């Protein structure tokens, strides 16, 4: 009986804590749309509350009366890209995790409820509670689009790109010397001794720790596998350059340390 009471009390406390920690929905990227009838429309990224993991997001089209006209599928990471095409500004939405492009489909637009006030989402306008999506056509992103969109993200968020490069380089610096050693010793890690084994274990443990932190970071703020692969490769190249052996060792073809 006491245990049941404690469990009920714990569930109540967790519910209250979740409500306290929860935050209101919010917009990030906002772009003005050009349509034929001249109506004032905006394409916005509406984020909800992930509490522990990353905040879920939808792309929404909002008219001048703050009504939603189109809702994209729920995603983990979206970006809006706009460009001039045939004299008009056209926008599409890129899902970097799923490598999917959402394009506006005016024929399936509808007149939905009011979701914002004074430019801010209503506290009830959580994207995870919006139900069925409409107003967007979905298709896989082409390889050229992936390169272009991911490159645009790097240019738009240079600080994040620099930090990603530093992180991947630090991770690669832990195992790059082992790669050089295997290469120069023709696949052998000899000579074997206690210090060599401990050093290898420490390096591999450090790599595992950094990769674990990266996975936790992905769960908190998901990113594209293409983005991660690019910086992992770039970081490896930088690490191989920084940890390259001296010329004497390269000529002798032997690396013992």
Alpha helices in the chain (DSSP H): 2-21, 143-156, 158-184, 194-220, 225-242, 247-252
Distance between CA atoms of 236 and 168, rounded to whole angstroms? Answer: 7
Distances in Å between the Cα of 191 and the Cα atoms of 110, 136, 188, 232, 240 are 71, 62, 9, 30, 22
Q: Which pLDDT value is given to residue 256?
A: 47
> What tens-digit pLDDT sequence spans the chain (257 residues)?
444 544 344 344 434 444 445 678 999 899 998 765 667 899 999 998 766 667 889 999 999 899 999 999 999 899 999 988 777 788 999 999 999 999 999 899 999 999 998 888 988 889 988 888 999 999 999 999 999 999 988 888 899 899 999 999 999 999 888 888 877 777 666 666 777 778 888 888 888 888 888 888 777 778 888 999 999 999 999 999 998 887 655 555 555 44
User: In this structure, are residues 25 and 123 in contact, taking their beta carbons and an 8 Å threshold?
Assistant: yes
Neighbour tally for 71: CB within 10 Å: 23
pLDDT at 175: 86
CA distance 41 to 114: 13
Which candidate, 127, 134, 77, places its Cα nearest to that of 100?
Answer: 77
Cα separation, 114 vs 132, in Å, equals 16
């Amino acid at each position: 009986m006491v245990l049941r009471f404690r469990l009920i009390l714990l569930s109540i406390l967790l519910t209250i804590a979740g409500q306290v920690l929860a935050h209101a929905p919010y917009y990030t990227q906002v772009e003005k749309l050009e349509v034929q009838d001249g109506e004032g429309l905006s394409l916005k990224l509406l984020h909800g509350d992930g509490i522990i993991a990353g905040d879920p997001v939808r792309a929404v089209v909002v008219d001048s009366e703050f009504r939603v006209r189109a809702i994209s599928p729920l995603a983990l990471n979206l970006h809006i890209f706009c460009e001039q095409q045939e004299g008009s500004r056209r926008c599409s939405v890129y899902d970097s995790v799923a490598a999917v492009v959402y394009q506006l489909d005016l024929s399936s637009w509808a007149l939905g409820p009011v979701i914002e006030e004074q430019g801010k989402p209503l506290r009830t306008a959580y994207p995870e509670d919006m139900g069925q999506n409409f107003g967007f056509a979905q298709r896989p992103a082409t390889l050229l689009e992936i390169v272009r969109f991911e490159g645009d993200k790097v240019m738009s968020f240079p600080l994040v790109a620099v930090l990603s490069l530093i992180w991947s380089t630090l991770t690669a610096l832990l195992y790059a010397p082992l790669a050089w050693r295997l290469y120069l010793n023709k696949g052998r890690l000899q000579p074997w001794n206690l210090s060599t084994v401990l050093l290898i274990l420490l390096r591999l443990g450090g790599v595992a720790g950094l990769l674990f932190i990266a996975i936790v970071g992905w769960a908190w703020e998901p990113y594209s596998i293409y983005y991660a692969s690019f910086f992992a490769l770039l970081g490896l190249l930088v690490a191989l350059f920084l940890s390259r052996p001296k010329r004497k060792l390269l000529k002798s073809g032997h690396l013992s340390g």
